[in-house]
Chain A
């Protein structure tokens, strides 16, 4: 299979060297040192490895790097703008929506995708959209509150 030699990550080109079938997660973490994106299960069941590909939430552990070539990849490290945290990150911090923090980047990425598609989700809609993300510490209620708060922050920043 053809080698992948360049990706677009967090708005910049990034040189890599990987067989096309290598999981995007492995390339991000081991070649680009973007370790904010986590391995949790390797079968798309936990959401810890979630990144945005062309704005859509994708499990990087199941995505062959060839499928992400020439697309815009956003990781947890690419959310901050002008030295300021993304409102979803700020909301997670404010709402104390983390305990051990290992699921957090996947949760944040999924929430960012959710709020792009649905700027004002109900609690039920949040739970449904994020059902594929696991938090073993059990912070789900705080995450739901954080997403609600982020929706508010985003609305304010737009108005």
Chain B
């Protein structure tokens, strides 16, 4: 978890989940498939290599069973006309249940209401590596479109056969196949009746071009939104099973502490309470949550602690403990370019650990029945959690089922199966289903964090503003978006992994916000040094047309270049490329110079993620990413000392609230000619540097650490 790089993960330490997946055992044969689903027409997507194959772990794995193994998704049209789509992707607020439904509706030509998505259930859905990295829209969405298009053609063929007509002359529309020449039409459900027809799609099927999208490309409300506004939807903590107990886990007082002794007699004497002591794991299960809490409180444990790194020494530690860099990028001759540059600038930037703090904490409900384990849990990697459970309990994979109810956010923080393993251990001992919901304090302490890091940059620029030298070293925070999009002939860019003092892992956009913060702050510093407007300086060194276009679009919308109206006002700009998306952000801040307080007044973001699938959903993601990004940019920071988190409560860890929200404007650059890229992450990467640059413009103070204003003030007040 911390930072043991393996294979292709070496360059991106947070992507530890990209180790090779276990072999996938596809358990259904065709007959069983239709026995479970009922008769009808089914289309299965088979991925051989391509993107989908990579996402499901890569490597082809032959036809050893009745259906091929590398299944990307499947779709079933039942005898009563309902369409069921199975995908291993999961929903946690990014609204892919809606956007994927929309993609299928478009290709299959059926109303959205007739489609049901089964997502993230390891017994029912095809293997999927996980829902992260903004991969759903670029990969799963076209895959499902392809499956739906083939299903549509299959239905057209069935109608053609029935009418003895030519398929090419028939059209599919609104759940029917019709023959414009004769005026006949037949509903899909009639075509599906009595069938047990399965087809595998291997090769690319032609898709409706984005410019002709009818349903996709328009905004569609959340398909199961009513369940959420009425409170009916059951998140994992809401799952209830017959005879279920409530679990609690005894946590060590500090990271790295080991259990020296345990006296559990008082807890064990409580009626209905099961205590589990297995190695370093201690937990209780009780008939109710208050009883579980009481049982936990009477456990007498002694712990042996070991000294741990504290926050004040963190950045020194990261620099001193870096392992040799891997994946160094080098062009030209850096040293000579640095020494011959008209201006030289060296600067160090830092980012601290922050918490995902999804509002739904980690939780799991585990149930053992006849030697088979079923766990409901909110995770971005249901198949990964299944594997963790199988390993923890030494079970074959087909004895473990993980079900992921639509979940209360993840942000990259729900990749592991901690709560699932704990609940399953308690359930096994108690021989009853057990629900375990982490407290907010546990969530802030025993989950994992967005990595902290130190970034050092050395640059050289000629008097006219041409960047000639660029040296960039990232210690620990990660390699996402580490390369510069600017045209610099002499570069050295390197990521240095470190064994992190705190448990760290994926976070929305990975290290892209950190690397953009350093790079785009530095670009601003150089622009001021050579006295060129920061936007003009960027464009002077930038050839990429799509990035130039978003810079120009954001500048136009923001009114870049206008004069300040008050001394405390400041404007900043930043941008970049990440995960196939192009983003530029302008920020306006107001600094009260006497108090030093900072307020972000306005944020404008221009975003190009290729062809837009659902403009409102996209707008939601961009604004949401911006608001979440405000926290990491301005004030979020995990404070820790000798293995203890000092601010493990929401009252001590400030997250963005209503009053923090600036005026936010989004400029969507819809490129129907480009493939769609995911949008959950990239829109936040330019926010922090845009704000830091705006604070500099307002005050002349250059802030090189995230968060920028942990106490809300840019200038320390008189007493400091």
Contact = CB atoms under 8 A, between A and B. Distances in A.
Contact of B231 (A30, A100, A105, A136): A105
B230 A89 contact: yes
A98 B628 contact: no
Interface string B608-650: 0000000010001001111110000000000000000000011
B664 A141 contact: yes
A136 B410 CA distance: 10
A128 interface: yes
A43 B289 contact: no
A101 B408 contact: yes
Contact of B626 (A40, A136, A138): A138
Given A43-B651, A48-B359, A102-B360, A139 B440 contact: no
Nearest to A103: B359
A15 interface: no
B101 interface: no
A15 B237 CA distance: 22
State the majority secondary structure of interface residues on B: loop
B31 interface: no
Contacts of B409: 99-100, 102, 136-137
Given A26-B289, A141-B661, A96 B359 contact: no
Interface in A88-107: 89-90, 92-94, 96, 98-105
A126 B357 CA distance: 24
Nearest to A75: B231
A41 B651 CA distance: 9
A62 B625 CA distance: 31
B228 interface: yes
A127 B658 contact: yes
A35 interface: yes
B92 interface: yes
Q: Which of B360, B626, B649 has the most CB of A within 10 A?
A: B360
Interface in B211-268: 219, 221-222, 225-226, 228-235, 237-238, 240, 246
Contacts of A5: none
B231 A36 contact: yes
Contact of B290 (A26, A103, A127): A26
Given A93-B225, A98-B222, A36 B240 contact: no
Q: What are the 7 closest A-B residue pairs judged by CB atoms, nearest first?
A: A36-B231, A100-B93, A102-B408, A138-B627, A101-B228, A76-B231, A35-B238
Interface of B: 92-95, 219, 221-222, 225-226, 228-235, 237-238, 240, 246, 288-290, 357-361, 406-409, 411, 437, 439-440, 616, 620, 623-628, 649-651, 655-659, 661, 664
Interface of A: 18-19, 22, 26, 29-30, 33-43, 45-46, 48, 75-77, 79-80, 85, 89-90, 92-94, 96, 98-105, 108, 126-128, 130-131, 133-144
15 contacts: A19-B290, A22-B290, A26-B290, A85-B229, A93-B225, A98-B228, A98-B229, A100-B407, A105-B231, A137-B624, A138-B626, A139-B623, A140-B627, A140-B657, A141-B661
